[in-house]
């Protein structure tokens, strides 16, 4: 008699555990979204590029941040937006953000972005989120993004040539160990956009690839 294969945990349970066990670092007394959200060598170039884009629209875009994490990035983009929808799947994290960052310009919501309806906005921010998700969940998310004019997407990719979109089970890890990364324009996603602009590329000091930020205009 063979054992049945264990089913992977739902993404919400996985993300809850990551924060509860501080698998992305930080201390035992607060939520922490990892060095990608706090290391100045990573955050400063990113914030510069995105704030420049928001300023070119006279700080008048409604932004929807899918996977806002501990809001260390979002709080610095907030002043350059008309309104900021900050979304994450971890309920305790969202409740913490509501208390820490009260503002009429920001709305915090706990949603599973692969399953739940998303709020209206002009611009989507997806920063190192898709890299943690299975291809099925990425498909579900991308199907919703055609309703938005702009998408600012950041992904952790191998530095050289790589195989795009090798599938994984959603969780803490990413595709880098498979010499893979998320490319929404490639198979199996074939995401359709009108314009593409590179906003930045940062080589990581640990030699494990780079962070690439793209701006996609859909209509």
Write out pLDDT tens, residues 31-53: 878 778 899 999 999 999 999 99
Domain housing 99: 23-217
Q: Is residue 5 part of a domain?
A: no
**Residue 126 sits in a domain of what CATH number?**
3.40.50.150
Q: What is the pTM of this model?
A: 0.91
Count CB-CB contacts under 10 A for residue 57. Answer: 14
What mean pLDDT, rounded, does the chain reach? 92
Q: Is residue 93 part of a domain?
A: yes
In a domain, 14, yes or no: no
Instruction: Give the model's confidence band at 100: pLDDT under 50 very low, under 70 low, under 90 confident, else very high.
Output: very high
* Number of domains the chain is built from: 1
Higher pLDDT, 10 or 125: 125
In terms of Cβ atoms closer than 10 Å to its own Cβ (0-12, 13-18, 19+), residue 43 is: middle
Specify if 210 maps to a domain.
yes
List residues bridging with 155 in a β-sheet. 212
Is 12 within a domain?
no
Residue 10, domain member (yes or no): no
pLDDT computed for residue 18 by the predictor: 75
Q: Is the pLDDT of residue 127 over 70?
A: yes
Would you say residue 41 lies in a domain?
yes
Comparing 124-128, 163-167, 170-174, 199-203, the range with the smallest average pLDDT is 170-174
Does residue 16 form part of some domain?
Answer: no
The pLDDT value recorded for residue 9 is 62
Give pLDDT, residue 4. Answer: 44
CB 111 within 8 A of CB 68: no
pLDDT of residue 171: 87
């Amino acid at each position: 008699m063979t054992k049945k294969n264990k089913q992977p945990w739902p993404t919400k349970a996985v993300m809850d555990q990551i924060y509860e066990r501080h698998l992305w670092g930080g201390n035992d007394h607060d939520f922490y979204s990892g060095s990608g959200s706090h290391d100045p060598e990573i955050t400063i170039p990113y914030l510069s590029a995105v704030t420049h884009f928001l300023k070119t629209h006279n700080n008048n875009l409604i932004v929807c941040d899918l996977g806002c994490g501990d809001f260390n990035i979002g709080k610095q983009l907030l002043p350059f937006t008309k309104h900021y929808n900050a979304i994450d799947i971890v309920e305790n994290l969202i409740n913490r953000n509501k208390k820490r960052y009260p503002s009429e310009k920001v709305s915090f919501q706990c949603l599973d972005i692969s399953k739940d309806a998303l709020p209206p906005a002009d611009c989507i921010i997806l920063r190192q989120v898709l890299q943690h998700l299975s291809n099925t969940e990425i498909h579900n998310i991308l199907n919703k993004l055609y309703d938005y004019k702009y998408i600012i997407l950041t992904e952790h990719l191998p530095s050289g040539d790589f195989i795009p979109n090798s599938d994984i089970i959603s969780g803490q890890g990413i595709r880098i160990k498979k010499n893979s990364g998320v490319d929404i324009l490639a198979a199996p996603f074939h995401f359709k956009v009108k314009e593409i602009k590179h906003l930045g590329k940062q080589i990581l000091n640990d030699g494990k690839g780079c962070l690439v930020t793209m701006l996609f205009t859909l209509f």
